[in-house]
Chain A
Amino acid sequence: MQVFHIRYRNAQGTLMRILNAVSRRGLDLTTVHAEGAGQDYAVTMLLEVNPKQIGQLYREWYAIVDVIEVRSRAVLHEQEVPAWGAHPPASESVSDRATQAALA
């Protein structure tokens, strides 16, 4: 299981676009919670995804013009789902990782 935190501007349809990226892949939305987060909004989702889907979702969400930030981390149990801001997982640089792997 993977928990995703997406911070976004609450423009028309932005949350729906975020959810569309999940539903178009036929993924079950186990947990969804959206709320105000300071000046922005945030949605937290728990999804059963494989590593490739994690990358695809990251990139698809970032392509939504009103998405500000995407973070995620693996969780073992649903109860571990943190509230937005309480346990922000550290994000990795995809490019750095990829560069190292490419040159390995």
Chain B
Amino acid sequence: MLKGAEIVLRCIRAEGVDLVFGYPGGAIMPLYDALDGSGVRHVLTRHEQGAVFAAEGYARVTGKVGVAMATSGPGATNLVTGIADAKMDSVPLVCITGQVRTAMIGTDAFQETDVFGVTLSLTKWSRLVRTIDEIPDAIAEGFYWARSGRPGPVVIDIPTDILKAKKEFSGPLKFKPHARPADAKAESTFSDAIVALLQRATRPVALVGAGAKLSGAIPELRRLLDDLNVPTFATVHGLGAVPPQSPYYLGMVGMHGTRAANTALHETDLLMVFGARLDDRVTGDPTRFAPNAKIVHFEIDPAQLDRVRTCDLPVIGNLADTIPAFHAEARKASLPDWSGWRAVACGAERAELDPRGLAQPTIRFLDELFSRLPQDNVIIADVGQHQMWAAQRYRSSSPRGFITSGGLGAMGFALPAAVGVQLAKPDTCVLCVSGDGGFQMNIQELATVHRLGLPIKMVIVDNKYLGMVRQWQQLFYERNYAETDLSDNPDFVEIAKAYKIRGWRLNEAAMVEFPVSAETGDLIDNFLSSPGPELLVFDCAPEANVYPMVPAGAALSEMVFEDAE
């Protein structure tokens, strides 16, 4: 006879889980009681949001399912932001929540929340477990849906009496999905159709999103792009999918994308999208997005098609299947010579950033920092100006090397996510870049970093403002800096010290000199090479802005540059 809690742990072990993140509480205590000897390591964060972001970090860097645990009521509701984040960014995540006793459900009992209902629109699948017999099936089905197709979040809510109940356990189950008569599959003729479109195209381009890495199709995609040799750019989650040194690669596209990428996207007559949602941060004004282009959209999730702009040719299916099928046809076909278009799109006159932008101290700092990272590194960016600067300057060809909360834009993501990344990759240099606002949203996870001795290198780009909001206030609200002033920030170095983490400070004045002084270089090198956790505060000008920028509602061709201020 096993307790329900023991069955849960055996079932998740059978799913390959050996690490979970969580925070204990009343209703989930039986599960915590069963952890010892289960083979599942539990990492205690200092807030449930920290746990779910850490699980996301683990999942994003490994491609495996991340698992977070929390108790009922506030424990469960504190997971909600992470669940929404996982939905937006296609992260395989299973959240196991304790629930009040079965008999108390619906009575507004202490710490009772309808977490099933609260998360219904945010999850890919969820289950309120009603009997101990349901546990193996719920775990098997939950993990199946979390990792299958377009990955996403799952919630399994288990009342405390079911975790305590006992039954004979015959072993974990494997879930087999029901067949659907109209299951979405790539049409067998799509390759011919795309080739026909390519043969007519004079200015084709490729846009790469997260789907390429999620489907494990990076090698296939790179081979295809090398053969097509058309101007190519990436979304923030597609960074690293295409080696930046590729002669046809134009960098990031969208609101803070490069001039070359946004211009090519505006001018193209054939846009091939590989695993991207085409959200508003990528398209700008959807009515003026790629206005002259036919759109071919490779996508695993049919729900993502036509959201903001109707595509002309949907190719629904796993990119690992559809890209090779298309590539095989493309190889056989006679395709036009696009060298003239490529020369224009990739030409020097469309430099990635204007020279004034490159002279910006924070950009210089990030360039300096990134260039001194060891080869094996992962960068986790929080949300805000620093995130966009980091994305613009990211130069790695590691598909899972740049991690950020892209779709939801959840401030406070980076530090706990870095915990998950570092635990998944103990020998990798993990660099966590935050702003002063976002860092304070989950600053308590410094305790987790210290307890585990994780050698995370934490950088706070401190402009003493909620910088991105302030930038919008400056540009679009007549400099009315309403409630974005953080000039009374605490001394982050002292805070780090209180958590027994060494702190460093660097002023942007050190970046005026180019190349940087030996002293500054040594400081950065020492910060990065230290064996333990380190925090570096980069003090920068309060009113620096991220450019280029496509104002909300504008077309990609209407980028604003620094000169326009």
Contacts and interface: CB of A to CB of B under 8 A. Distances in A.
A43 to B, nearest CB: 16
Interface stretch (B124-132, B355-363, B466-474, B500-508): B124-132
B301 A63 contact: yes
A56 to B, nearest CB: 6
B312 A101 contact: yes
- Nearest 7 A/B pairs, CB to CB: A102-B312, A63-B303, A59-B302, A59-B303, A102-B313, A20-B121, A95-B187
A73 interface: no
A56 B121 contact: no
Nearest to A51: B310
Given A24-B121, A65-B125, A102 B303 contact: no
A94 B314 contact: yes
18 contacts: A12-B116, A12-B128, A13-B126, A16-B120, A52-B310, A56-B307, A58-B302, A60-B303, A95-B187, A95-B314, A99-B189, A99-B193, A99-B313, A102-B193, A102-B197, A102-B294, A102-B296, A103-B196
Interface in B307-322: 307, 310-314, 316
B264 to A, nearest CB: 21
A95 B316 contact: yes
A88 interface: no
B316 A98 contact: no
A57 B150 CA distance: 17
Contacts of B311: 98
Given A12-B128, A69-B182, A52 B121 contact: no
Given A56-B307, A59-B304, A70-B182, 13 more contacts: A12-B128, A24-B121, A56-B303, A59-B302, A60-B303, A63-B301, A98-B311, A98-B313, A99-B190, A99-B313, A102-B312, A102-B313, A103-B193
B190 A95 contact: yes
A62 B180 CA distance: 10
Nearest to B130: A12
B336 interface: no
A69 to B, nearest CB: 6
Interface in B97-143: 116-117, 120-121, 124-128
B305 interface: yes
Given A95-B190, A95-B314, A99-B193, A65 B303 contact: no
Contacts of B120: 13, 16-17, 20
Which of A55, A60, A70, A98 has the most chain B CB atoms closer than 10 A to its own CB? Answer: A98
A10 to B, nearest CB: 12
A52 B306 contact: yes
Interface in A64-101: 65-70, 91, 94-96, 98-99, 101
A69 B294 contact: no
B314 A98 contact: yes
Interface residues on A, range: 20 to 34
A59 B311 CA distance: 13
Contacts of B310: 52, 55
A66 B145 CA distance: 11
Which of A17, A63, A69 has the most chain B CB atoms closer than 10 A to its own CB? Answer: A63
A100 B68 CA distance: 46
Contacts of A56: 303, 306-307
B184 interface: yes
Interface of A: 9, 12-13, 16-17, 20, 24, 52, 55-56, 58-60, 62-63, 65-70, 91, 94-96, 98-99, 101-103
Contacts of A63: 150, 301-303
A58 B126 CA distance: 21
A9 B127 CA distance: 14
Contacts of A94: 314
A23 to B, nearest CB: 9
B16 interface: no
Contacts of A13: 116, 120, 126
A62 B304 CA distance: 11
Given A60-B303, A63-B302, A65-B145, A103 B197 contact: yes
A12 B154 CA distance: 13
B176 interface: no
B177 interface: yes
A21 B303 CA distance: 11
B158 to A, nearest CB: 13
Interface string B175-208: 0011011101001011001001100000000000
Contacts of B193: 99, 102-103
A55 B124 CA distance: 20
Contacts of A62: 182, 184, 302-303
A65 B124 contact: yes
B488 to A, nearest CB: 39
A29 to B, nearest CB: 16
B302 to A, nearest CB: 4
B295 to A, nearest CB: 9
A8 B127 CA distance: 16
B307 A96 contact: no
A9 B181 contact: no
A101 B313 CA distance: 8
Contacts of A55: 305-306, 310
Contacts of A16: 117, 120
Contacts of A60: 303
A24 B122 CA distance: 12
Contacts of B127: 12
